[in-house]
Structure 1
Amino acid sequence: MRQALSGFVSKSAFPLKTIMILAMAMTFVVADVASSLAAKSAAIVVDAKTGKVLYSANADGRRYPASLTKMMTLYLTFEAMAKGKISRNSPVVFSAHASAEAPTKLGVKPGGSVAVETAILSIVTKSANDSATALGEMLGGNETNFARMMTAKARQLGMNGTVFRNANGLPDPGQFTTARDMATLGIALREHFPQYYGYFAQRSFLYGRQRINGHNRLLGRIKGVDGIKTGYTRASGFNLVSSVNDGNRRLVAVVMGGTSGGSRDNQMAGLINTYLPRASTRGGGDLVAKADSNPISALAKVLLPKHEAPTPDEKPVAVAEADTAVADDATVAQGDSEDEDTAEAEAPKLVVPAKKVKTVIVSAPKVATAQVVAAYAEPTPAVDPVSTASVPSGWAIQVASSPKQSEAQAFLDKTAKQAPKVLANASGFTVAFDKDGATYYRARFGGFGSKDAAWKACTALKKKKIECYAVQQ
């Protein structure tokens, strides 16, 4: 290095001593940048059966959630569905505000609409910002009210380090969370809404004639991973919440502030491989208390701070700094707004069979905000017809059918425990279908490459007195 600097100084007006000082200064600058990036990282691994924290790093430090925000948007959507306030086929009307959200987005024009299920699928796969906003406006009357509902729900779930400002996670300096809170939300989604949790395992879906692929590359790559959500903005770095279920053990792990999609995925894979064997095979029951409340009354329960900008080192910022942050984020919103689009080249490409999903695009008249809020506040029984089967392609084996998805899932768990070797490379899932006006759920294991492989697995299960048959998806 000294020879190189000597060569440079011979052609420069600067003395060697000055060059050395500049080089040392640059070294400190690079070190400071690296330290700043490292300060953004946070992670936690929680045993989803016992609640025990198996690993923690900066788990209570404030972080930008980015599109992990949409997990709460979906929590409130599932809650409304479970209470009969909306159904899978209820129309979600896109306002001008929702349609104008930055990509990634579904691209519905102002006044257009899609079914609730299509909005859900677009969020779990494409992480569509416009769909999240449209759902928020539908459930809360407007996005500001919905953000208050989100924060109120967070408090009820025990997420005391989280404030939401919008439904999609686009940059807002007053929107923050912690890795621990995101783990709590991930556990709550499975515990409170097992009938809808399967959406998070969706890898792709058909929107009209277009197949939309998902961002979560750990689905199909790491055995047992069944969701949940990715997130990315420049300020947040690369975030990921993963749920893992190997039939005997369950984990929820969170990684926030990754420097790339690939490195974040690799970090998550390492955490899963390390801590899943250490998780308990016992335990059970809800770890997160259910938080039932009227969504309209929840609006008055949360007073959001005007200026509370999270930073990786948790230092409070002045009002002027917060205002500047808003302006800076606004200028880059188009470029940094969502997930893996900016990291396609960095993340490993995985060949995963796409799930075939039939979507229903519906048209609906424009509905006044007050009407939407009133409809949500007053429960009305609704038939919830099923038009979607979240099914992996290839061959699968069916082991049960039940009128309750929770029962079908329980049978999958029981079967996986009874025949772990037979189903070692298979993944369980449920498929909803209609029969005589009633909804039932098939319990199936997918991942078989041929008819012979599926029948062979069935034969082995029958020897254990487990009835099954093979089906092609």
Structure 2
Amino acid sequence: MLVAISMKKMKWLLAAALLCVGIGQASAEANPRYAAIVLNADSGEVLHAAQADAPRYPASLTKMMTLYLLFEAMDKGLLRLDTAMPVSAHAASMPQTNISLKKGDRLRVRDAIPALVVRSANDAAVVVAEALGGTESEFAKMMTAKAKAMKMTATTFRNASGLPNEMQRSTARDLSILALRLMQDYPDYYHYFSTASFTFRGKTYNSHNRMIKNYAGTDGMKTGYIRASGFNVATSVLRGEHRLIGVVMGGRTAQSRDAEMVALLDKSFTRAEQLAKLSPKAAKQSPASKVVVSTQTVRQVIRQAPDTRVITRPPVVPAPLPQGVPTGSLATDLGWAVQVGSFRASEQARDRASDAARRLDSIEFAQVSVNKVSISDRTLFRAQLIGLQREQAKRACERLVRQGMDCLVIKMPNS
């Protein structure tokens, strides 16, 4: 009986695999620019692949690597959210899509990030490239080197934006690796990929990524288009115990591209459930390595080790709430924190948290804490001020930002 059940499951899996292959082959025959892949973000298992290793033009999916290197620079302390980057004549000359930057302007990092994600601004991409690489061509070499280090073996970058260049190539598989690494390596910044709109110099720009609105569980990532590539999209979706990453390239229209992505994700979620039932041990282990990122202003990253260490000051009496804020449950909710950085050494995190504490009045925080987290293959230490009410945390972060210190307001796990 057990053998019969096992064989039935194996037949189902074989049929599902053949169905996915059939879809990919049909799409590839009808559209030579087509390529697609869907993988399980927790296990790395490929659930669907069609022309996944065929060279394609990445178009504005290129900007995911531009953002990766920007986040890396911020993580190293080379840039901050309020760093103002100069706009060169080369950057200002970039064609649409752009945010109409002029030579001599300065673009803050906090504006460049949504400009790249939401507007897919080519001028903003060059500003970032020149700030980090000196020139866009040098930055493209940095991008390619980083791609190789990530095992994106078929990827070559020649510019920071994805504008047409015959030598700028990647694959659906490589771009899925990049999407996964963005989430794993920089979860504190991942929320930007769900941004629906942003306003710059009085003008509001809306995202081209309709998957976020139209497909339940989608919380990122990026779209792209040039004539040579067709319509591309990288998508991350969290449903239940499974997070999937999909890449579809070469769509004839944005609508057909999105429809293809929806069909592939639907089938892949079904397959992920079936595989989890066949491997219950792996299914139980996967949530421990899951990166869960909400799409709200206040984010909670669930991947934190349980060994939070309070290092210095004892708890103090919370500051009074601002006038007009109701008392009751909110007044006793001390589950909020201000995070002021992630570091590879606990001593660095302790110093940053202590520095943040010194910049604030003692009533602005309860405890200085260093929280050890595991992200991909790295161990990081997060500097935090914990035990705050929500309004206290917001007020404290605002004061730190005014003093030039980047910070995040977060809801602590299990609070």
Q: Which category of TM-score, normalised to the shorter sequence, fits these structures?
A: 0.5 to 0.7
Secondary structure at 2:220 match in 1: strand
- DSSP-derived class of the 1:220 partner: helix
Closer, same or farther in 2 for the Cα pair 1:432/1:65, shift >3 Å? farther
Aligned-pair CA distance for 1:431: 8.8
Letter in 1 for 2:206: N
Structure-1 residue corresponding to 2:397: 434
Map 1:393-472 → 2, pairs under 5 A? 400-404=335-339, 434=397, 437=400, 439-443=407-411
Query: Within the alignment, does 1:283 sit opposite 2:276 as a pair?
Result: no
TM-score, scaled relative to structure 2 = 0.64
The residue number in structure 1 matching 2:72 is 79
Q: Is 1:44–1:53's contact at 8 Å kept on the other side of the alignment?
A: yes
Deviation at 1:140, TM superposition (A): 0.2
Q: CA deviation at 1:433?
A: 6.8
- The residue type paired with residue 72 of structure 1 is M
- The CA deviation at 1:283 is 2.2
Aligned length: 288
What is the RMSD computed on CA atoms of the aligned residues?
3.1
Q: Read off the aligned partner of 1:442 and give its amino acid letter.
A: I
Give the Cα–Cα distance (whole angstroms) in 2 for the partners of residues 400 and 273 of structure 1: 36
Match of 2:123 in 1: 130
Deviation, structure 1 residue 399: 10
Q: Report the 3-state secondary structure (helix = DSSP H, G, I; strand = E; otherwise coil) of the residue aligned with 2:32.
A: helix
**8 Å CA contact 1:432, 1:442 repeated in 2:** no
2:180 is the counterpart of 1:217 = no
Q: Which has the larger radius of gyration?
A: 1
Return the offset for 1:226. 0.8
Report how far residue 211 of structure 1 moved. 1.2
Contact 1:399–1:443 under 8 Å retained in 2: no
* TM-score normalised to structure 1 length: 0.56
Give the corresponding residue for 2:357: none
Deviations 1:147-188 (A, max 9, x none): 000000000001000000000000000000000000000000
Gaps of 5+ in 1: 1-33, 288-353, 357-396, 411-429, 445-465, 468-473
Q: 1:390-413 deviations in whole A, cap 9, x for unaligned?
A: xxxxxxx999423449999x9xxx
Distance 1:246 1:431 in 2: 30
Q: Deviations over 1:103-148 (max 9, x none)?
A: 0001110110121110111110010000001100110000010000
Match of 1:254, SS? strand
Counterpart mapping for 1:313-352 below 5 A:
none
Query: Alignment partner of 1:107: what SS?
Result: coil
> Deviation at 1:253?
0.4
The residue aligned with 1:293 is: none
Deviations 1:31-90 (A, max 9, x none): xxx987612100000000000000000000000000000000000000000010000110
Alignment of 1:267-282 (within 5 A): 267-279=260-272, 280=276, 281=283, 282=285
Tell me, what secondary structure is at the counterpart of 1:119? helix
1:89 aligns with 2:82: yes
Aligned match of 1:186: 179
Deviation track 1:341-367 (CA, whole Å, cap 9, x = no partner) reads: xxxxxxxxxxxxx999xxxxxxxxxxx
- Which amino acid letter does the alignment assign opposite residue 51 of structure 2? N
1:150 aligns with 143
SS in 1 for 2:286: coil
Matched, 1:253 2:228: no
Gaps of 5+ in 2: 1-26, 277-282, 298-329, 343-369, 374-392
